[in-house]
Amino acid sequence: MNSAARSVSTGRPARAVDHDSREHLLDAATRLFSERGVANTTVAQVAAASGVTSAMVHYWFKTRARLLDAIVDERVAIAFQAVWGPFDPEAGEEPLIQMVGVLQRMFEVTENMSWLPSLWLREIINEGGLLRERAFRRIPFKKIQRFGESMARGKARGKLNEHIDPLLLFSSILALVMLPLATSSIWRQLHPAATFDHANLKRHVTALLLDGAIRNRVPAAACAPRGRGRPKSEPRSKRRAT
Protein backbone atom coordinates (compact mmCIF):
# COMPACT_ATOMS: atom_id res chain seq x y z
CA MET A 1 0.00 0.00 0.00
CA ASN A 2 1.45 3.36 -1.01
CA SER A 3 1.60 6.43 1.29
CA ALA A 4 -1.45 8.05 -0.33
CA ALA A 5 -3.52 4.90 0.26
CA ARG A 6 -2.35 4.74 3.89
CA SER A 7 -3.41 8.34 4.41
CA VAL A 8 -6.89 7.57 3.13
CA SER A 9 -7.22 4.39 5.17
CA THR A 10 -6.33 6.13 8.46
CA GLY A 11 -8.64 9.05 7.81
CA ARG A 12 -5.88 11.64 8.42
CA PRO A 13 -3.11 12.83 6.08
CA ALA A 14 0.40 11.72 7.02
CA ARG A 15 1.55 15.35 7.10
CA ALA A 16 -1.05 16.19 9.75
CA VAL A 17 0.19 13.31 11.90
CA ASP A 18 3.74 14.64 11.57
CA HIS A 19 2.61 18.12 12.53
CA ASP A 20 0.86 16.77 15.64
CA SER A 21 4.04 14.91 16.61
CA ARG A 22 6.09 18.10 16.34
CA GLU A 23 3.56 20.07 18.42
CA HIS A 24 3.55 17.35 21.06
CA LEU A 25 7.35 17.50 21.25
CA LEU A 26 7.24 21.27 21.67
CA ASP A 27 4.66 20.98 24.43
CA ALA A 28 6.69 18.36 26.28
CA ALA A 29 9.93 20.34 25.97
CA THR A 30 8.30 23.55 27.15
CA ARG A 31 6.80 21.83 30.18
CA LEU A 32 10.06 20.10 31.15
CA PHE A 33 12.10 23.28 30.71
CA SER A 34 9.69 25.16 32.97
CA GLU A 35 9.88 22.43 35.63
CA ARG A 36 13.57 21.57 35.55
CA GLY A 37 15.28 24.32 33.60
CA VAL A 38 16.83 24.09 30.15
CA ALA A 39 20.30 23.10 31.36
CA ASN A 40 18.90 20.24 33.46
CA THR A 41 16.77 18.72 30.69
CA THR A 42 18.22 16.43 28.05
CA VAL A 43 16.94 15.71 24.57
CA ALA A 44 16.42 12.10 25.68
CA GLN A 45 14.12 13.29 28.48
CA VAL A 46 12.12 15.41 26.04
CA ALA A 47 11.81 12.41 23.73
CA ALA A 48 10.73 10.11 26.58
CA ALA A 49 8.09 12.60 27.75
CA SER A 50 6.74 12.67 24.18
CA GLY A 51 6.83 8.91 23.71
CA VAL A 52 9.29 9.08 20.81
CA THR A 53 12.99 8.50 20.26
CA SER A 54 15.75 11.11 20.47
CA ALA A 55 16.20 10.67 16.74
CA MET A 56 12.70 12.03 16.21
CA VAL A 57 13.56 15.18 18.21
CA HIS A 58 16.61 15.70 16.01
CA TYR A 59 14.52 14.99 12.92
CA TRP A 60 12.19 17.87 13.70
CA PHE A 61 14.55 20.39 15.27
CA LYS A 62 18.01 19.30 14.04
CA THR A 63 19.82 20.84 17.03
CA ARG A 64 19.08 21.77 20.62
CA ALA A 65 19.48 25.45 19.70
CA ARG A 66 16.73 25.15 17.09
CA LEU A 67 14.46 23.52 19.65
CA LEU A 68 14.97 26.54 21.93
CA ASP A 69 14.29 28.87 19.01
CA ALA A 70 11.03 27.06 18.30
CA ILE A 71 9.89 27.27 21.93
CA VAL A 72 10.44 31.02 22.00
CA ASP A 73 8.97 31.66 18.54
CA GLU A 74 6.00 29.31 18.79
CA ARG A 75 5.16 29.36 22.49
CA VAL A 76 6.64 32.33 24.37
CA ALA A 77 6.13 34.87 21.57
CA ILE A 78 2.47 33.80 21.28
CA ALA A 79 2.04 34.65 24.96
CA PHE A 80 3.55 38.10 24.39
CA GLN A 81 1.22 38.69 21.45
CA ALA A 82 -1.84 37.58 23.41
CA VAL A 83 -1.11 40.17 26.11
CA TRP A 84 -0.01 43.08 23.95
CA GLY A 85 -1.67 42.48 20.58
CA PRO A 86 -5.04 44.01 21.62
CA PHE A 87 -3.43 47.01 23.33
CA ASP A 88 -4.08 50.21 21.38
CA PRO A 89 -2.97 53.46 23.03
CA GLU A 90 -4.90 55.42 20.42
CA ALA A 91 -8.26 53.79 21.22
CA GLY A 92 -9.14 56.51 23.70
CA GLU A 93 -9.65 54.18 26.65
CA GLU A 94 -9.15 55.48 30.17
CA PRO A 95 -5.79 54.46 31.72
CA LEU A 96 -7.48 52.28 34.33
CA ILE A 97 -9.31 50.37 31.59
CA GLN A 98 -6.05 49.89 29.69
CA MET A 99 -4.32 48.70 32.83
CA VAL A 100 -7.07 46.24 33.71
CA GLY A 101 -7.08 44.96 30.12
CA VAL A 102 -3.37 44.11 30.28
CA LEU A 103 -3.84 42.52 33.70
CA GLN A 104 -6.78 40.37 32.60
CA ARG A 105 -4.97 39.17 29.49
CA MET A 106 -1.95 38.21 31.58
CA PHE A 107 -4.15 36.07 33.79
CA GLU A 108 -5.81 34.48 30.75
CA VAL A 109 -2.42 33.67 29.22
CA THR A 110 -0.97 32.19 32.40
CA GLU A 111 -4.09 30.10 32.92
CA ASN A 112 -3.91 28.69 29.39
CA MET A 113 -0.11 28.38 29.49
CA SER A 114 0.52 27.21 33.05
CA TRP A 115 4.22 26.66 32.25
CA LEU A 116 4.83 30.34 31.51
CA PRO A 117 5.46 31.84 35.00
CA SER A 118 8.06 29.23 35.94
CA LEU A 119 9.76 29.37 32.54
CA TRP A 120 9.79 33.18 32.73
CA LEU A 121 11.43 33.12 36.16
CA ARG A 122 13.95 30.37 35.36
CA GLU A 123 15.03 31.11 31.83
CA ILE A 124 14.03 34.64 30.78
CA ILE A 125 14.36 37.20 33.56
CA ASN A 126 17.05 35.25 35.40
CA GLU A 127 20.56 36.44 34.57
CA GLY A 128 22.11 33.67 32.51
CA GLY A 129 18.75 32.16 31.56
CA LEU A 130 19.13 30.15 28.37
CA LEU A 131 16.05 31.67 26.74
CA ARG A 132 16.82 35.22 27.83
CA GLU A 133 18.36 36.65 24.66
CA ARG A 134 15.95 34.81 22.39
CA ALA A 135 12.91 36.01 24.34
CA PHE A 136 14.14 39.59 24.61
CA ARG A 137 14.18 39.79 20.83
CA ARG A 138 10.46 38.98 20.82
CA ILE A 139 9.24 41.18 23.67
CA PRO A 140 7.15 44.05 22.24
CA PHE A 141 9.13 46.78 23.97
CA LYS A 142 7.56 49.56 21.89
CA LYS A 143 4.08 48.64 23.06
CA ILE A 144 5.24 48.42 26.66
CA GLN A 145 6.82 51.85 26.27
CA ARG A 146 3.59 53.25 24.83
CA PHE A 147 1.68 51.73 27.73
CA GLY A 148 3.91 53.65 30.14
CA GLU A 149 3.41 56.84 28.13
CA SER A 150 -0.35 56.35 28.17
CA MET A 151 -0.29 55.89 31.94
CA ALA A 152 1.81 59.07 32.25
CA ARG A 153 -0.76 61.04 30.27
CA GLY A 154 -3.49 59.65 32.48
CA LYS A 155 -1.58 60.68 35.57
CA ALA A 156 -1.08 64.18 34.16
CA ARG A 157 -4.86 64.44 33.70
CA GLY A 158 -5.42 63.40 37.32
CA LYS A 159 -6.72 59.93 36.44
CA LEU A 160 -4.10 58.03 38.44
CA ASN A 161 -2.69 58.33 41.91
CA GLU A 162 -0.09 61.09 41.92
CA HIS A 163 2.44 58.87 43.71
CA ILE A 164 2.47 56.18 41.01
CA ASP A 165 5.40 56.05 38.60
CA PRO A 166 3.77 55.25 35.23
CA LEU A 167 6.96 53.76 33.83
CA LEU A 168 7.12 51.24 36.68
CA LEU A 169 3.48 50.24 36.45
CA PHE A 170 3.87 47.34 34.03
CA SER A 171 6.83 45.87 35.91
CA SER A 172 4.61 45.93 39.01
CA ILE A 173 1.82 44.11 37.14
CA LEU A 174 4.32 41.56 35.87
CA ALA A 175 5.65 40.89 39.35
CA LEU A 176 2.20 40.64 40.94
CA VAL A 177 1.03 38.06 38.40
CA MET A 178 4.09 36.01 37.52
CA LEU A 179 5.97 35.73 40.80
CA PRO A 180 3.14 34.28 42.95
CA LEU A 181 2.29 31.72 40.25
CA ALA A 182 5.93 30.72 39.72
CA THR A 183 6.61 30.34 43.46
CA SER A 184 3.22 29.04 44.63
CA SER A 185 4.65 25.69 45.82
CA ILE A 186 7.01 27.52 48.18
CA TRP A 187 4.32 29.75 49.64
CA ARG A 188 1.97 26.80 50.12
CA GLN A 189 4.56 25.23 52.40
CA LEU A 190 4.79 28.42 54.46
CA HIS A 191 1.05 29.14 54.42
CA PRO A 192 -0.93 25.94 53.77
CA ALA A 193 -4.21 27.85 53.95
CA ALA A 194 -3.21 30.26 51.17
CA THR A 195 -5.08 29.91 47.89
CA PHE A 196 -3.13 30.39 44.67
CA ASP A 197 -5.77 29.54 42.11
CA HIS A 198 -6.16 32.02 39.28
CA ALA A 199 -9.55 33.34 40.37
CA ASN A 200 -8.39 34.22 43.89
CA LEU A 201 -5.08 35.67 42.75
CA LYS A 202 -6.82 37.73 40.09
CA ARG A 203 -9.21 39.23 42.66
CA HIS A 204 -6.33 39.98 45.00
CA VAL A 205 -4.06 41.61 42.39
CA THR A 206 -6.89 43.57 40.79
CA ALA A 207 -7.88 44.97 44.18
CA LEU A 208 -4.28 45.94 44.96
CA LEU A 209 -3.73 47.65 41.63
CA LEU A 210 -7.04 49.45 41.37
CA ASP A 211 -7.06 50.64 44.96
CA GLY A 212 -3.52 51.94 44.58
CA ALA A 213 -4.06 53.44 41.14
CA ILE A 214 -7.13 55.51 41.96
CA ARG A 215 -6.23 59.11 42.44
CA ASN A 216 -5.40 60.34 45.97
CA ARG A 217 -6.19 57.02 47.66
CA VAL A 218 -2.73 56.90 49.24
CA PRO A 219 -1.86 59.63 51.77
CA ALA A 220 1.26 61.58 50.89
CA ALA A 221 2.82 60.76 54.27
CA ALA A 222 2.66 57.04 53.46
CA CYS A 223 4.79 57.56 50.35
CA ALA A 224 7.35 59.87 51.94
CA PRO A 225 10.81 58.31 52.42
CA ARG A 226 11.65 57.44 56.01
CA GLY A 227 14.93 58.68 57.41
CA ARG A 228 17.24 56.55 59.51
CA GLY A 229 17.91 57.13 63.15
CA ARG A 230 16.37 59.91 65.24
CA PRO A 231 14.48 62.76 63.61
CA LYS A 232 16.69 65.74 62.87
CA SER A 233 13.96 68.09 64.05
CA GLU A 234 14.44 66.91 67.63
CA PRO A 235 18.09 67.00 68.78
CA ARG A 236 19.17 64.76 71.62
CA SER A 237 20.05 67.72 73.85
CA LYS A 238 16.49 69.02 73.59
CA ARG A 239 15.03 65.62 74.44
CA ARG A 240 17.24 65.31 77.53
CA ALA A 241 16.16 68.76 78.69
CA THR A 242 12.55 67.74 78.56
pLDDT digits (tens, 9 = 90+) for 192-217: 887 778 899 999 999 999 888 875 55
Q: How many other C-beta atoms are found inside a 10 Å radius of the C-beta of residue 13?
A: 14
Q: Are residues 47 and 120 in the same domain?
A: no
Q: How confident is the model at residue 93 (pLDDT cuts 50, 70, 90)?
A: very high
CATH, residue 44: 1.10.10.60
Q: Are residues 89 and 193 in the same domain?
A: yes
Rounded mean pLDDT of 158-176?
Answer: 94
Q: Are residues 79 and 182 in the same domain?
A: yes
Q: Are residues 42 and 78 in the same domain?
A: no
Q: How confident is the model at residue 43 (pLDDT cuts 50, 70, 90)?
A: very high
Domain extent at residue 43: 15-62
Which of these ranges, 12-26, 66-80, 123-137, 175-189, has the smallest mean pLDDT? 12-26
pLDDT tens digits along 122-135: 999 999 999 999 99
Report the predicted TM-score, pTM, of the whole model to 2 decimal places. Answer: 0.80
Q: Are 25 and 52 in contact (CB under 8 A)?
A: yes
Number of domains in the chain: 2
**Residues whose CB is less than 8 angstroms from the CB of residue 9 and which lie 6 or more positions away in sequence, other chains included:** 1
Q: Are residues 107 and 139 in the same domain?
A: yes
63: pLDDT strictly greater than 70: yes
CATH, residue 77: 1.10.357.10
Average pLDDT, the chain: 85
* Rounded distance between C-alpha atoms, residue 171 and residue 205, angstroms: 13
Q: Considering the domain boundaries, does residue 242 fall inside one? A: no
Q: How confident is the model at residue 5 (pLDDT cuts 50, 70, 90)?
A: very low
What integer pLDDT is reported at residue 218 of this predicted model? 47
116: pLDDT strictly greater than 60: yes
Q: Are residues 201 and 113 in the same domain?
A: yes
Q: Are residues 81 and 38 in the same domain?
A: no
What integer pLDDT is reported at residue 78 of this predicted model? 97
pLDDT tens digits along 149-165: 999 999 999 999 999 99
Per-residue b or e along 32-63, where b marks 16 or more CB atoms closer than 10 Å to that residue's CB = bbbeebbeebebeebbebbebeeebbeebbee
Q: Are residues 44 and 132 in the same domain?
A: no
Q: Are residues 172 and 121 in the same domain?
A: yes
Q: Are residues 175 and 96 in the same domain?
A: yes
